[in-house]
Amino acid sequence: MTEIRPRDSPFMQNLREGPTSALEHLRALYQTRAPEPIAENDELSRCAQDLLVHFAMPSDMYCNPNMIALTIKPELCRACFDAKILFLFADMMADPDFLRHYSMFTFSIARCTLILLHVWFIDMMHRSVSRALMTPLSAMAFFEVTERACSVMWDERHRANVPDLHMIMALVELQGVFHTIYALQPRYPGLGNAPISPAMVKITVYFWVYNYTHIVGDETEHYHRLSTGGYEDSIDLFLYLIEESKGEGEEEYIDTTASQTGQRRALTEILQDIGADSILRTMRATLRYSKHMTRVPPRVRDCLLVCRILYLEHASFRGIYLQMPMIEDIAAVFDAPIMHLPPDRDPAQVQPVLEAYRSAWNHLSFVGTACKSGSMSPSLINPVSIWNIMVKSVTMVLELDVEWHNDPANPNLEQITPFLVQFQATLLETFASVWLDGLRASRNGEGGFPDSIVTGLANVDGASAVWYGFIETAHARFDSGIITSSPISYIVRVWRQFGKVLGFDEGSERVRATHICAWILCTFHTTPSSKPLMVCKGCREKRYCSSACQRSDWKQGGHRVRCRRLKA
């Protein structure tokens, strides 16, 4: 991306020596400009770029806006708030031509706004409202101006310039601006319960989808660039709108225009104007490129939750959903280490992981039910993805359940337990009533799943070994091999029935398991050895053909952490 270099200009000199006069000059330039889109060589455009460079010094102007906010000079910060420069920026955004100006100007104004909002937010965290950079009355006035700007941008959205790199990044910065306002508003007395502007959410979602569906340059680099801004927080605002659209205590939308709130009308506009297809494609891209995010588990959870609610409540979204292989994207996300349980079981990290997995089982319910009814093509169901989600889920439930039973006084586990219980309930309901019942009905000639799904699940390479491996592990985690946890006992029972319906034989797999080396790079990991292998004396679960394989798995295969946890 193009780097803006400091100019040796009178404006930059004024910023260094007396920022107030420079800011007033910027205001005067804007108020006296010609009534047409701002061009690349306009003095106003060059001054906006200078201001951004000056804000960021000595940092890179593209670095995290919060880092810039923490290092910005106090005198510059005070001058900006005394001059009410945020109001000027909001007025600029309310200009119908804001998205048609030279893209570097639009980007500079959006990023300067985001930096000052971060300064404001940091200030609010350390001061009382009475001593804040913005008084309650000023804050309310600013929020009103930005709401008007959002309405104008929504009305003018289709007149935006053809996207180039800086326009894409400007839209990212604007998403960050709107989410920061969403975070700031509740910190002011009297504004905490005020609904967020539907116009703000609409334009945020529009920009979010636009950025995902208008790729500039290399696709991977494009999504990586998006991660430097506030795009991932847009899911927060979208989820807020969806939840606000539901009446208090309602499980479904009331399908009458007269009863729709502003939030409901906004959601309807989003689905009609942006389109369910574009929204779902954006959700899928969000999952695929979630590795670039800073807070992966909460964002994955929110993304799956948004899809879940839209699937249940909006037929247009549901119809598109059933034409896309969503489960593949979900399974791929769960392969990332960040979506695994953290070793210290920090509740703040475990909770969103459990909630994301619980949402994944809602999606397994959707596709399973749709396949049984014939409303979804079996070709969209990847049996490997189904197995991956199922195996990771039951393993996670087993680990946490056993740890809690062994150490019920552990404060971390105590905080996690309610979310674990919810996850267990959703998993068992979907597993038994959708997948197990569907397989049984198919085997018995009573409907259920198409044959291709049944054979696909049964023929996944290594599926029978993985199926038995969980049964063996579950029993090994309890004294004398007797499962004393009711939820785990039920899960193992359903798991056994699931494998039997697929044609797996527990006795044969038990014998085969004693001949499999746990070290993944060993020949005997995929091809059984001719004789039973020795058992690890630590966990009494993993088997190895040699001490060398055991050492390799200990050092490189992750068994060191797992074995110690099992022994503990």
What is the tens place of the pLDDT at every residue in 365-395?
999 999 999 999 999 999 999 999 999 999 9
Q: Is the pLDDT of residue 46 over 50?
A: yes
Neighbours of 441 (CB within 10 A): 15
pLDDT digits (tens, 9 = 90+) for 95-154: 999 999 999 999 999 999 999 999 999 988 877 666 778 888 899 999 999 999 999 999
Q: Region 48-60: what's the mean pLDDT?
A: 84
Residue 460 has φ and ψ, to the nearest 5°, of -60, 130
Mean pLDDT of 450-464: 95
Go through 309-324 and write b for each residue having 16 or more CB atoms within 10 A of its CB, e for each that does not: bbbebbeebbebbbeb
- Please check the confidence at residue 317 and state whether its pLDDT lies above 60: yes
Residue 335 lies in a domain: no
Tokens 């939840």, residue located: 243
Domain that holds residue 20: 1-192
Residue 175 and residue 301 in one domain: no
- Round to whole Å and give the CA distance between 335 and 353: 12
> 247 falls in which pLDDT band (50, 70, 90)?
low
Q: What whole-number distance in Å separates Cα of residue 13 and Cα of residue 9? A: 6
145 and 98 share one domain: yes
Domain boundary among the residues 324, 358, 382 is at 324
What's 195's DSSP letter?
Answer: P
Q: Which long-range contacts (CB under 8 A, 24 or more apart) does 519-527 make?
A: 519/544, 519/549, 519/550, 519/552, 519/553, 519/557, 520/553, 520/557, 521/552, 522/549, 526/462
Tell me, yes or no, whether 333 lies in a domain. no
Tell me: do 311 and 399 sit in the same domain.
no
- pLDDT, residue 257, reads 43
Q: How confident is the model at residue 63 (pLDDT cuts 50, 70, 90)?
A: confident
Q: Note the pLDDT of residue 248.
A: 39
Return the number of other C-beta atoms located less than 10 Å from residue 212's C-beta.
Answer: 21
417 burial level (CB within 10 Å; 0-12, 13-18, 19+)? middle
Cis peptide bond prior to 74, omega within 30° of 0: no
- Whether 88 is covered by a domain: the verdict is yes
Q: Which residue, of 175, 192, 209, is where some domain finishes?
A: 192
**Residue 50's pLDDT band (boundaries 50, 70, 90)?**
very high
State yes or no: pLDDT of 540 exceeds 60: yes
Instruction: With a cut of 80, say whether residue 234 has pLDDT above it.
Output: yes
- pLDDT given for residue 289 in this prediction: 85
Question: Mean pLDDT score of the chain, rounded to an integer?
Answer: 88
186 and 284 in a single domain? The answer is: no
The two tokens of residue 347 are 């509740």
pLDDT in tens, 1-13: 555 565 678 898 8
Average pLDDT estimate for 337-364: 93
Residue 509, pLDDT > 60, answer: yes
- Residue 535 CA to residue 395 CA, distance in Å, equals 20
Q: Which of 370, 413, 362 lies closest to 389 in space, CA to CA?
A: 362
- Total domain count, the chain: 4
Dist CA 253 CA 500 (whole Å): 41
**Which of 37, 45, 35 shows the shortest CA–CA distance to 9?**
45
Considering only residues 412 and 566, tell me which one the structure prediction assigns the higher pLDDT.
412
pLDDT of res. 249: 36
Q: Which pLDDT does position 31 carry in this prediction?
A: 95
- Kindly state whether residue 332 falls inside one of the protein's structural domains: no
